[in-house]
């Protein structure tokens, strides 16, 4: 049965991406879709949206570009050259920042971005990414921030007082270097303070791995911890990007010797066991990934994960717009029960955010009033969302 017959509501272009983005691309089936006819502008747009242009180019090149119009090939090869140059520049900047952190004696780990590209795909240009993610211990955040400022970076979201008052619950700051257009996300944890996450920073510091880039050995997240990180991140973001699914599928393929039962047990202990199962279910459904034998039973018995995986993959396949609740509160997927979600809601309801400040810009002396005002503002947003389903609920 053809791909289009199996998934009648899915675009042929998206299914082509699924065929070429899997760890072992299905090139014969991809050729059939190309021969049947492809909307190439739609294909390129989808590949960009889902961050899988390097995989698309790699597969088309391996096939000698069959049925691809010359202008489309020229556009993709032009992107490949530009992306390669940007990836090398980003890697060079990463090494510069990492060297400065090490010289200051700061503990840090680099994750996602270039190190993940090398660890999973073997090259800094084989994966799309837009920023540098660095984890530091919570007690060293201020020192790391001062170092970034000395290197020419500036905070993207207000001054330090504003960030601590309204963005601290996110447990990360964003910095931008105007001259190089490089963005750095400085983390001290992996999720907002209101939701659980399958991996803790303490786990990372106990078991660092290293990836070599440009002659530099960069500390990063180890294999089992990387599985927890990728599963947690994808679940937190509702798996809305095929590139993230590709990363997890590649880890499954490259790391068959990982103790997946222990990985699942560790996530369960942090209230996020479903995140690991959901990652496996989405990777299997979209990219034909092989689920570890140890997780087949728990996955097949978990009705919540099955229903959620079906809904999220259907949204991807059909290109459905994300509901407001999915866009603004997708991290609640990390909560496995209604009680856990209620706790997350209550914590978030008592946490002042940038949305509170935007709704009513009070002077710093009155910022404490946001704690009192926030529950009423959220209640008003909920009522409005019930009356007008398309209304955005800003945090």
Q: Which of 191, 221, 251 is the last residue of a domain?
A: 221
| pLDDT over 50 at 391, yes or no | no
Question: Could you write out the three-class secondary structure of the chain?
Answer: CCHHHHCCCCCHHHHHHHHHHCCCCCHHHHHHHHHHCCCHHHHHHHHHHCCCHHHHHHHHHHCCCCCCCHHHHHHHHHHHHHHHHHHHHHHHHHHHHHHHHHHCCCCCEEECHHHHHHHHHCCCCCCCCCCEEEECCHHHHHHHHHHHHHCCEEECCCCHHHHHHHCHHHCEEEEEECCCCEEEEEECCCCCCCCCCCCCHHHHHHCEEEEEECCEEEEEECHHHHHHHHHHHHHHCCCCCHHHHHHHHHHHHHCCCCCHHHHHHHHHHCCCHHHHHHHHHHHHHHHCCCCCHHHHHHHHHCHHHHHHHHHHHHHHHHCCCCCHHHHHHHHHHHCCCHHHHHHHHHHHHCCCCHHHHHHCCCCHHHHHHHHHHHHHHHHHHHHHHHHCCCCCCCC
Residue 74 lies in a domain: no
Q: Is residue 265 assigned to a domain?
A: yes
Q: 61 and 145: one domain?
A: no
User: Would you give the distance in Å from CA 272 to the centre of its chain?
Assistant: 16
Asked if residue 318 is part of any domain, the answer here is yes
Assigned domain for 345 exists: no
Total number of domains in the chain:
4
Same domain, 15 and 136: no
pLDDT in tens, 268-326: 999 999 999 999 999 999 999 999 999 999 999 999 999 999 999 999 999 877 665 56
What are the pLDDT digits (tens) for 209-252?
Answer: 999 999 999 999 999 999 999 999 999 999 999 999 999 999 99
Identify whether residues 28 and 129 lie together within a single domain: no
The whole domain housing 363 covers 352-395
pLDDT band at 2 (very low <50, low <70, confident <90, very high): very low
| CA 298 remoteness from chain centre | 24
What are the pLDDT digits (tens) for 67-100?
Answer: 999 999 999 999 999 999 999 999 999 999 999 9
Task: Specify if 86 maps to a domain.
Answer: no
Give the pLDDT confidence of 168-213 residue by residue, as tens digits. 999 999 999 999 889 999 999 999 999 999 999 999 999 999 999 9
Q: Are 329 and 257 found together in one domain?
A: yes
Within-domain flag for 106: yes
- Residues 165 and 283 grouped into a single domain: no
pTM comes to 0.92
Tell me the percentage of the chain whose pLDDT exceeds 90.
Answer: 84
pLDDT digits (tens, 9 = 90+) for 119-160: 999 999 999 999 999 999 999 999 999 999 999 999 999 999
User: What's residue 256's pLDDT?
Assistant: 85
**Is residue 214 located within the same domain as residue 262?**
no
Domain boundary among 158, 190, 221: 221
Residue 78 in domain: no
């Amino acid at each position: 049965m053809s791909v289009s017959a199996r998934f009648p509501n899915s675009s042929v272009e998206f299914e082509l991406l699924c065929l070429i983005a899997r760890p072992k691309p299905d090139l014969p089936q991809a050729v059939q879709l190309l021969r049947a006819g492809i909307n190439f502008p739609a294909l390129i747009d989808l590949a960009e949206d889902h961050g899988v242009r390097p995989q698309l180019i790699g597969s088309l090149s391996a096939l000698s570009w069959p049925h691809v119009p010359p202008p489309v090939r020229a556009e993709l090869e032009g992107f490949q050259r530009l992306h390669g140059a940007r990836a090398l520049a980003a890697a060079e900047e990463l090494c510069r920042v990492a060297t400065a952190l090490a010289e200051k004696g700061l503990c840090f780990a680099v994750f996602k971005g270039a190190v993940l590209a090398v660890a999973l795909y073997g090259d800094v240009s084989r994966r799309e990414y837009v920023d540098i993610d660095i984890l530091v211990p919570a007690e060293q955040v201020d020192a790391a921030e001062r170092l970034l400022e000395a290197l020419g970076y500036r905070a993207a979201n207000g001054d330090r007082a504003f960030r601590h008052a309204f963005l601290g619950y996110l447990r990360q700051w964003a910095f931008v270097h105007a001259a190089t257009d490089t963005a750095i996300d400085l983390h001290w944890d992996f999720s907002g303070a209101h939701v659980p996450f399958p991996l803790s920073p303490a786990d990372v510091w106990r078991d660092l791995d290293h990836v070599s880039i440009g002659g530099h050995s960069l500390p990063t997240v180890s294999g089992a911890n990387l599985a927890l990180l990728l599963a947690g991140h994808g679940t937190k973001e509702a798996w809305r990007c095929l590139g993230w699914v590709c990363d997890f599928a590649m880890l499954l393929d490259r790391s068959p010797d990982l103790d997946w039962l222990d990985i699942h047990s560790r996530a369960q202990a942090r209230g996020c066991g479903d995140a690991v199962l959901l990652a496996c279910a989405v990777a299997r459904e979209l990219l034909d990934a092989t689920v570890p034998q140890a997780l087949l039973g728990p996955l097949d018995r978990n009705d919540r994960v099955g229903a959620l995986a079906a809904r999220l993959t259907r949204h991807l396949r059909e290109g459905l717009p994300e509901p407001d609740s999915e866009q603004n509160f997708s991290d609640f997927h990390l909560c496995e029960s209604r009680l856990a979600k209620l706790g997350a809601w209550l914590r978030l309801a008592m946490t002042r955010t940038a949305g509170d400040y935007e709704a009513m810009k009070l002077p710093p002396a009155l910022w404490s009033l946001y704690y009192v005002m926030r529950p009423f503002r959220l209640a008003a947003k909920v009522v409005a969302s019930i009356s007008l389903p398309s209304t955005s609920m800003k945090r």
